[in-house]
Amino acid sequence: MLEQKPVPYPRGSMGLMLRLPVQLYKIGLGDPLNLLRIMVITTRGRKSGQPRHTALEYRRHGSKIYVVSAWSSDAQWYKNLLDYPYATMRMGRKRVRVTATTVNDSGEALRVLNLFHRTAPFIFDPVVASTAQSQPITPLNIPDIAHRITIVRFDPTHEAQDLPYLEASYGWALAAGTIVALSAVVILLAVSLSRATKQPR
């Protein structure tokens, strides 16, 4: 079996881009991201014990939610789940408490990889190919690499009561609406004054 080497952790601007979805969820823009199957998972930091938020792409199969780790078992959120397998999720406005299990069954792993491959091959295939040290992904070679990929299944649970959900704040929308309204009033007043000064006396 080939040794699994994850994609190098992104730094600089790429790292900021990967953290952007969490910030968008925080300001109440989770619904558009959820249309792209991007959720935010909250795990408990294995060292700090504090909530840690991570944006992840997911797929559903019935009540089960699946995630493929682009950084294999080195991903920080995955290490947190190994220490404490409970988490909370925000998928748009929906909030779910889950328990995490690493997928070790080859048949289940194959189904998950095929699901990701069918729905987003242009994004998913290069990541999996790099992680699994494989040639470009095709339906024919997915069975050969399924055992090299770190896949996590999330099942609904009533546990993880001590973990908070990522909360969204809509205060910015009120502030933005107020600014827009005031700007519109100022513009209307300016137009009215301009017309008044141009009228013949």
For the chain, the helix, strand and coil percentages under 3-state DSSP, each to the nearest 5: 45, 20, 35
- Tell which residue, 127, 132, 173, has the closest CA to residue 26: 173
DSSP state string for 79-136: HHHHHS-EEEEEETTEEEEEEEEE---HHHHHHHHHHHHHH-HHHHHHHHHHHTT-SS
The pLDDT, as a whole number, for residue 116 is 84
C-alpha distance from residue 33 to each of 39, 46, 189 (Å): 7, 27, 39
What is the mean pLDDT of the segment spanning 118-124? 70
User: For 72-116, what is each residue's pLDDT tens digit?
Assistant: 888 899 999 999 999 999 999 999 999 999 998 888 888 888 888
Alpha-carbon gap, residue 126 to 73, rounded angstroms: 18
At 13, phi and psi to the nearest 5? -65, -35
Alpha-carbon gap, residue 71 to 83, rounded angstroms: 17
pLDDT-based confidence at 149, cuts 50/70/90?
Answer: confident
User: For 31-79, what is each residue's pLDDT tens digit?
Assistant: 999 999 999 999 999 999 999 999 999 999 999 999 998 788 888 999 9
pLDDT at 4 over 50: no
Alpha-carbon gap, residue 127 to 68, rounded angstroms: 10
pTM: 0.74
% of the chain residues with pLDDT over 90: 37
At 130, phi and psi to the nearest 5? -70, -40
